[in-house]
Structure 1
Amino acid sequence: MPQSTKFIIDFDSTFTQVEALDILGEISLANDPQRDQKLKAIVDITDKGMDGSLTFRESLELRLEILNASKDQISDLIEALKKKVSKSFERNKEFLQENSNDIYIISNGFKDFIIPIVADYGIQKDNVFANEFIYDQLDRIVDFNRENPLSKNNGKAETIKQINLEGDIYVIGDGYTDYEIKASGLANKFYAFTENVSRPRVTSQADHIAPSLDEILYVNNLNKKFSYPKSRIKVLLLENVHQIGVDLFKEEGYEVEVISSAMSEEELCEKIKNISILGIRSKTNVTKKVLDNANRLLSIGAFCIGTNQIDLDTCQEKGIAVFNAPFSNTRSVVEMAIAEIIFLMRSFADKSVAMHQGKWDKSATGSFEIRGKKLGIIGYGNIGAQLSVLAENMGMNVFYYDVIEKLALGNATKLNSLEELLNTCDIISLHVDGRKDNKNIIGKKEIAAMKKGAILVNLSRGHVVEIPALKDAILSGHLAGCAVDVFPEEPKNNSEPFVSELIGLPNTILTPHIGGSTLEAQENIARFVPGKIMEYINTGNTYNSVNFPNIQLPFLKDAHRLIHLHQNEPGVLAKINQILANYEINIVGQYLKTNERIGYVITDIDKAYSPDAIDELKSIKGTIRFRMLY
């Protein structure tokens, strides 16, 4: 950072996520019977002071009067504030420490708690300008130093005049008092800091709205720790992604937009143009047309198991990494399958409806235990295999069929054809993926091959069962019942009507695609998928990606990481290394993984390098995407 540049940083809601006096109020008023009313009053007064609708001195006097705090409570406040330092300041601690001579805290808060907090970030005591509490003989806070200019209106501007800073001055803050420094002609730029709070009256006056400290360092070419400010990475989350997932992206510093429903192709084509990360569930189709409009898309997260709603080939061609949650809702789906098998074998659904209509039908006719029955599982992946184990533990004889060779768990028996499975089993449960080849794998012919009185459970994909054929089999009595959770056409949101030929059929359980919709499953998915995407964005790690070569990378330390995604052609690695050798760039570590279509090369290099070398690496024939991390 040039020596002539000075940063003036506010403390409350800028350096920390909170207003310190609000937190002091929670401590000092803990046992006050009017605690909630008083805390709300403090927050209201703070906001009025920050947006300029109340003079600062009035705001300060009113708050201290309500607080009724003491010196010993300041220690508790300091401990609380240390846990509330703004995320982007934590991320850039090294920058603050390295440039501490040119960083000043000028705050309307109080030195008593500010100095201990900022000292951990290397900021010098002499560079902290703030108010000072006055205590009585019992160490109660009774007043503030009224001679201190920061206790008065326009105090920050007056303070800067007194300390006589030279050179360019950049102010970072969230309040109107921070803008006043620029308005007084004492600063070159005012950055409205909105990571924690955004005040329209303040942002409207800013030279630049800064969602994080990363953004400020980036626009001033000072960002040595992060290659790109996270606040510029836009995330779009559709279809009611669990709040945990939303929060994880926000905590990382990304700009997050949430839409509760799915989007049509046309809607998504327009919406995706400036999006870097897209999160969807099963109803949103990410087509080639959508991807052709995705100019900045780095990654897609499928907050579910399946990824057939995503054009994976086009994502690969465009260098877009796709991640899903292959295990996170497995248990939920399996438990639902077991429950539905039991319900169908006992006709519970129909008996429950009859009871609600006042009909008493106590009979064992058509009711069976599941113990000893033959369960046929089509698709022996994560869900099919776990269903196999649970069903066997409940006394069922398990058979399965899969087009891929899979190891049988427990005493399950692999059958060599779909027809053999259908002829053999009393219950058929579908757990295949959504590839196009699986359309109507259970059609009229296959249903006819099932045993008379068998039941069918489909918790996989809507298009794998021919619905008219299933309806005919239920009405004719060939099948004793069915449970369907997925449908060829599904409503995009809860306000659209559900239409199906299966409505009203006997011993038929219809559920609105909720196999994985348990709180446990949604929380697991919401933690897993963002974690994988953020690992990829931050480190280049592609482990668990469904369309990229999988590489699990070490942490990046004291190096820059070059990520080169290219068509899988001979000689690309040699070209990369030749360019690095030509520019005398030392390789610290290198990792290569390919699949049949693309190659993924990670090269960690010493920090010193020529920008021309980067340009040449980007120009290698067959390059799909190049990223640089540091």
Structure 2
Amino acid sequence: MYKIQVFNKISQKGLELLGKDKYILGTDIQEPDGILVRSQELKNMDLPSSLKAIARAGVGVNNIPIDSCSEKGIIVFNTPGANANAVKELTICGLLLASRKIIEGIEWTNSLSNEDGPIDKKVEQGKKAFKGGEIKGKRLGVIGLGAIGVLVANAAHSLDMEVLGYDPFMSIDSAWNLSRGVDKAETLQELLEKSDFITIHVPLLEQTKYMIGREEFSLMKKGVKLLNFSRNELIDVVALKEAIEEGIVDKYVTDFPEEEILGMDEVLCVPHLGASTAESEENCAIMAVNELKDYLENGNIRNSVNYPECVMPRRSPSYRISIVNHNIPNMVGQITTLLADAHINIDNLLNKSKGKYAYTLLDVAEQPTKEIIDSIENIEGIIRVRVL
């Protein structure tokens, strides 16, 4: 039986995939094999030696101690793309809110009363203060063409916007899914200079932190409308305020409110609603559970943030050896030599690396003894060995 500790409210549609014949679920599980989590802070948690994997039902993993998990051979999963449609829809909403003064008009309308005359007349007299513009024919610059960025670009193109995308690391899958009507910017500078609207869809990494600062704002058109539904630290908020004061940024719409910009007329702060739909929460839970389940039962790694993608079909009858190790020379050679010396034939083998760490799957014809597993564990650089 695998023991799974569950933090936060994980959709039941996901949890139902963990059959009761193989899994025990709970919030106070001792010595768990796996953890399912959403926003719960785990950085101060004492990670038990039994823990093999953490699955985050969402994309951001800033609540998980990645470095510590990597050193202990704990695979950390996230769910890229599971909430993509929800974020796409909110981004399209943000484009319209930035263009049409809809919220400002609603707030003014709610302040009216019949005491000083008929409301319909007041509406007709006052609506000119909320005149906006249309997004049709305007150019939208999409920074980051991953799962969300591609959906946003395609949707904006279907709304008759001119779309300019920039992503030097775009995947093959994203390229296949991107509409042919989306133009490619060769540089970020080109996108910033040409766009009427700019939306950011990149992960928060060391190299992307504050990627939009004074220099980037200086390249933008006067009156640009900027959207951020990714992470607040992607934008230098001090430089943003300066750009608003100078008239460079006409409207800033963000899903990540910060005290420095709350209450500014040119800023619309959404309370982090990007993935807050029932459908998105279900999709994330199902994806996280399937990732965790496949790793615990089959040793397969999909969508890990700290270890390489490593998926190998299972053949029956066979035994599978799952090995987590440091990425150092001759590791596979030492492992296969040990198995050969024990007269154990290898039916299938897959080895992948990611930075300082590597992962190996081996299917063997007969069950390896405890002595063989102990010998593999004693190889310098081995972090964790499991037989499945």
C-alpha distance 321-280 of structure 1, shift in aligned 2 (>3 A): same
Q: Distance in 1 between matches of 2:368 and 2:243?
A: 70
1:539–1:556 contact (8 Å) kept in structure 2: no
For the pair 1:244 / 2:13, whether they are aligned, the reply is yes
Where 2:104 maps in the other structure, the secondary structure is helix
In structure 2, what is the equivalent of residue 418 of structure 1?
A: 188
1:237–1:256 contact (8 Å) kept in structure 2: no
- Structure of larger gyration radius: 1
Give 1:275 shift: 3.6
Between 366-375 and 593-602, the greater mean CA deviation after superposition = 593-602
Instruction: Give the aligned residue type for 2:221.
Output: K
Aligned with residue 323 of structure 2, among 564, 569, 579: 564
In structure 2, what is the equivalent of residue 343 of structure 1?
A: 97
In structure 2, what is the equivalent of residue 278 of structure 1?
A: 35
After superposition, the C-alpha distances for 1:381-402 in whole angstroms (9 at most, x for unaligned) are 2211221111011110111223
After superposition, the C-alpha distances for 1:192-236 in whole angstroms (9 at most, x for unaligned) are xxxxxxxxxxxxxxxxxxxxxxxxxxxxxxxxxxxxx22xx2323
Q: Distance in 1 between matches of 2:257 and 2:36?
A: 22
For the pair 1:397 / 2:162, whether they are aligned, the reply is yes
Give 1:600 shift: 2.2
Aligned with residue 299 of structure 2, among 530, 540, 553: 540
In structure 2, what is the equivalent of residue 333 of structure 1?
A: 87
Q: Distance in 1 between matches of 2:219 and 2:295?
A: 47
For the pair 1:370 / 2:162, whether they are aligned, the reply is no
After superposition, the C-alpha distances for 1:603-630 in whole angstroms (9 at most, x for unaligned) are 223445533222212212211100111x
In structure 2, what is the equivalent of residue 387 of structure 1?
A: 152
2:145–2:170 contact (8 Å) kept in structure 1: no
Instruction: Give the aligned residue type for 2:144.
Output: G
C-alpha distance 272-366 of structure 1, shift in aligned 2 (>3 A): farther
Q: Distance in 2 between matches of 1:589 and 1:381?
A: 33
Between 244-253 and 560-569, the greater mean CA deviation after superposition = 244-253
C-alpha distance 344-431 of structure 1, shift in aligned 2 (>3 A): same
1:586–1:605 contact (8 Å) kept in structure 2: yes
Q: Distance in 2 between matches of 1:356 and 1:475?
A: 28
Q: Distance in 2 between matches of 1:569 and 1:352?
A: 61
In structure 1, what is the equivalent of residue 287 of structure 2?
A: 528
In structure 2, what is the equivalent of residue 256 of structure 1?
A: 25
Q: Distance in 2 between matches of 1:412 and 1:392?
A: 7
In structure 2, what is the equivalent of residue 506 of structure 1?
A: 265
- Percent identity, aligned pairs only, is 31
For the pair 1:440 / 2:210, whether they are aligned, the reply is yes
Root mean square deviation, CA, Å: 2.7
Where 1:437 maps in the other structure, the secondary structure is coil
Q: Distance in 2 between matches of 1:366 and 1:514?
A: 27
After superposition, the C-alpha distances for 1:305-349 in whole angstroms (9 at most, x for unaligned) are 233554444433321112111111111111111111112201001
Q: Distance in 2 between matches of 1:436 and 1:371?
A: 35
C-alpha distance 400-610 of structure 1, shift in aligned 2 (>3 A): closer
C-alpha distance 362-321 of structure 1, shift in aligned 2 (>3 A): same
C-alpha distance 559-426 of structure 1, shift in aligned 2 (>3 A): same
After superposition, the C-alpha distances for 1:520-559 in whole angstroms (9 at most, x for unaligned) are 1111111111001101000101133333232222235333
2:105–2:130 contact (8 Å) kept in structure 1: no
In structure 1, what is the equivalent of residue 386 of structure 2?
A: 627
Aligned with residue 613 of structure 1, among 369, 372, 375: 372
In structure 2, what is the equivalent of residue 463 of structure 1?
A: 233
C-alpha distance 614-445 of structure 1, shift in aligned 2 (>3 A): closer
Instruction: Give the aligned residue type for 1:443.
Output: G
C-alpha distance 272-378 of structure 1, shift in aligned 2 (>3 A): farther
C-alpha distance 609-466 of structure 1, shift in aligned 2 (>3 A): closer
Q: Distance in 1 between matches of 2:237 and 2:355?
A: 37
After superposition, the C-alpha distances for 1:391-422 in whole angstroms (9 at most, x for unaligned) are 01111011122343564642222223333322
Instruction: Give the aligned residue type for 1:442.
Output: I
2:349–2:360 contact (8 Å) kept in structure 1: yes
Where 2:128 maps in the other structure, the secondary structure is coil
Q: How does 1:113-192 map to 2 (within 5 A)?
A: none
C-alpha distance 502-298 of structure 1, shift in aligned 2 (>3 A): same
Give 1:459 shift: 0.1
2:100–2:130 contact (8 Å) kept in structure 1: no
1:344–1:507 contact (8 Å) kept in structure 2: no
In structure 2, what is the equivalent of residue 430 of structure 1?
A: 200
Aligned with residue 340 of structure 2, among 581, 604, 608: 581
Instruction: Give the aligned residue type for 1:276.
Output: D
Where 2:10 maps in the other structure, the secondary structure is coil
C-alpha distance 308-409 of structure 1, shift in aligned 2 (>3 A): farther
After superposition, the C-alpha distances for 1:84-104 in whole angstroms (9 at most, x for unaligned) are xxxxxxxxxxxxxxxxxxxxx
Q: Distance in 2 between matches of 1:277 and 1:551?
A: 18
C-alpha distance 252-446 of structure 1, shift in aligned 2 (>3 A): farther
C-alpha distance 609-320 of structure 1, shift in aligned 2 (>3 A): closer
Where 2:207 maps in the other structure, the secondary structure is helix
Q: Distance in 1 between matches of 2:101 and 2:24?
A: 50
Q: How does 1:56-71 map to 2 (within 5 A)?
A: none
C-alpha distance 608-562 of structure 1, shift in aligned 2 (>3 A): closer
Q: How does 1:4-23 map to 2 (within 5 A)?
A: none
Q: Given the two structures, how large is their TM-score scaled by the length of structure 2? A: 0.86
Where 1:389 maps in the other structure, the secondary structure is helix
Q: Given the two structures, how large is their TM-score scaled by the length of structure 1? A: 0.55
Q: Which has the higher contact order (CA 8 A, sep 6+)?
A: 2
1:373–1:396 contact (8 Å) kept in structure 2: yes
Instruction: Give the aligned residue type for 1:516.
Output: A
